[in-house]
Amino acid sequence: MEIKDFANLIEHLPTEVNSFRIHKKNWKVEAQCNIVEKIFGVEEYIQISRKEIRSEVNNINLFIIKTLMWGYPTKGRGKNIDNLLTDESFEKLSKLLLKYKAIGNIQFDVLVNDFKNNKIKGLGISTLSKFLYFLEIKVEDNPCVILDDRLINIINNSNFEDIYSLKGIKREYTLKSRKSQISYLDFLQSLNEIAEKLNVKSEKIEMFLFFFGKNLY
């Protein structure tokens, strides 16, 4: 089975309107609470789409919070979001994302070194890839797409021949320059290659795998 077998479905996936409902009760935070309050206003819940997040790229603070809300509607497990929202982490993250936004197309080694040297608590490949995707950053000419635990699980357990070379991918090695391990760059190159063959954006391949990858064998 190949991803290209579902080309017609993939072509018509509505990526821009893909949205999640976020309830205010789940987003009680100490740090950056003013931004969170501004987003909700008087509403008890809001709906955030991919399109809306992209509209906030020139307001980095709102962009970060809305990306986190979309990616983790219930604020996720553990303390990762709270750790990211501390003043120190939030400032580091803002500066890093503004740097990438200004460059647009970065080398993978730069991404690896920045991730290693900045040591932003709570930031992993799942969250970083969301920011890179919504900022429309490229890594060595490959458009960034989201790589989270669900995608990793699907890749490692699917029967799609197109992504067989990615089997064995592990979250802890995706942002390391080890030729013996499958990296985030390898993931981007594979999805971009498939997308080019189907004449679609690679985000549609990511969305297809996320929503259908577990149920097609």
pLDDT digits (tens, 9 = 90+) for 114-135: 999 998 999 999 999 999 999 9
- Which of 151, 157, 159, 135 minimizes the C-alpha distance to 184? 151
Residue 90, pLDDT score:
96
pLDDT digits (tens, 9 = 90+) for 57-103: 999 999 999 999 999 999 988 899 999 999 999 999 999 999 999 99
Number of domains within the chain: 1
> What is the domain range of residue 95?
3-215
Main-chain phi, psi angles of 48, to 5 degrees: -120, 130
- Which of 116, 182, 121 minimizes the C-alpha distance to 155? 182
Residue 217, pLDDT score:
63
Contacts of 110 (CB under 8 A, 6+ apart): none
**pLDDT interval class at 148 (50, 70, 90):** very high
Residue 137, pLDDT score:
98
208 and 3 Cβ atoms separated by less than 8 Å: yes
